[in-house]
Homo-oligomer: A and B are copies of this chain.
Amino acid sequence: MTKKTTIYDIAEKLGITAATVSRALNGNPKISEATRQLVSDTAKEMNYEQNKLALALKSGKSYNVGVIVPRIDSNFFASVIRGIEEELYPKGYHVIICQTHDQKSLEIENINSLLNAQVDGILMSISNSGPEENQSFDRLIKKNVPLIFFDRKKEIEGVSSVTIDDFKGGYQATQHLIDQGCRRIAHLSNNRKIEIFKNRYLGYKQAIIDNGLEFDESLVIETTSRVAEGSKSTKVLLDMETPPDAIFSSSDFVALGAIQEIKSRGLKIPEDICVVGFANEPFTRFMELSITSVDQSPVEMGRIAAQVFMEEVNKSKKIKTQKQVVLTPELMIRKSSLKSEVIAH
């Protein structure tokens, strides 16, 4: 068996101190990029294998970052994760992912598992069920492990977040439906204790009021982001004495369920009823009846969340800052809501 390469071997080869090698390998900001690169290349060349666990225990850094999302099988969350990875991989970080299936208990267990796996930070979108407690987040904050929320966030002092302007997204979608001549617009919402769903709802409501239309709370139904739930809620809407002439859904999956139910009754989209979703999932444009939706620039959201993490992980632990980045949504108008060829703003 050959002798394992140590940092002393690398130091000797390069004529620098072992401490410098160690600092360079651990990404200490005091080391110049050129030196870091040289040490890194030499280490690779000499087959130096860093004992990352020992390193983690010593430096408190594992170069693993945890990402927690409600579900991975959504293009939106997968794209945010792609953005995070694109930003962090070149900086030597690895991304490990957990999903909560929107269950608070799993969210808590995920946080604990990731802490036990010694992650350097957690970037997450919270689940939309369960009690309003912050215990699990407290543990992170006490441990000084950076926590950054994206999309679905919670107001916690000192915790940064990257979101889109959901109020504006809801407002734009509803204004577009009104511009298409719709007057009785229903809203398929989700748990409005979650800010993003509350804000989409408030944007929808404000657009209705601003246009002098009657706001009818009975046209607002809370669902979960599943196709079957969309069909179920749409049944209720279509069975009303005066059914809606448009549906704005806070989820593309729910919008898809709505479309299935509308079609099954022989109603025409967009002639009889317009449908708008939210998130711009790829299937919304793949469908023959393409679905109007609100784009949330998820890759950019992920990249920015990762940048905020890098700022936090590199800053002195004594400085507490809180950053709130808000991105602007973009309405993608497609067949499911386009009655006339005149494209509204």
Query: What is the interface of chain A, defined by CB distance below 8 A to chain B?
Result: 52-53, 56, 62-64, 66, 71-75, 78-79, 81, 85, 89, 94-99, 101, 106, 109-110, 112-114, 116-119, 227, 256, 282-283, 286-289
Contact = CB atoms under 8 A, between A and B. Distances in A.
A64 B97 contact: no
B97 A98 contact: yes
A69 B62 CA distance: 22
Contact of A62 (B56, B117, B119, B227): B117
Given A53-B118, A116-B56, A287-B288, A109 B81 contact: no
A212 B160 CA distance: 65
B288 A289 contact: yes
Contact of A52 (B78, B112, B289): B112
A157 B227 CA distance: 43
Given A71-B78, A116-B118, A287-B288, 12 more contacts: A52-B116, A53-B116, A53-B118, A63-B113, A64-B116, A72-B72, A73-B78, A94-B113, A96-B97, A96-B113, A97-B99, A283-B283
A116 B78 contact: no
Contacts of A282: 227
Contact of A110 (B79, B94, B288): B94
B79 A73 contact: yes
Given A96-B96, A96-B117, A117-B64, A288 B288 contact: yes
A75 B265 CA distance: 28
Given A79-B73, A97-B99, A113 B64 contact: yes
Nearest to A116: B52
6 contacts: A52-B116, A73-B75, A81-B99, A96-B97, A96-B113, A286-B287
Given A72-B73, A288-B289, A95 B96 contact: no
B283 A286 contact: yes
Q: Which of A97, A106, A113, A117 has the most CB of B within 10 A?
A: A117
Nearest to A92: B109
A114 B66 CA distance: 12
A140 B117 CA distance: 17
Contacts of A109: 94
Given A110-B94, A117-B64, A286 B52 contact: no
Given A118-B53, A283-B283, A288-B289, A97 B72 contact: yes
A52 B114 CA distance: 11
Nearest to A69: B72
Contacts of A227: 282, 286
A81 B98 CA distance: 10
Q: Which of A62, A73, A97 has the most CB of B within 10 A?
A: A73
Given A73-B72, A73-B75, A96 B114 contact: yes
A289 B286 CA distance: 11
Contacts of A113: 63-64, 94, 96
A118 B52 CA distance: 11
A243 B257 CA distance: 37
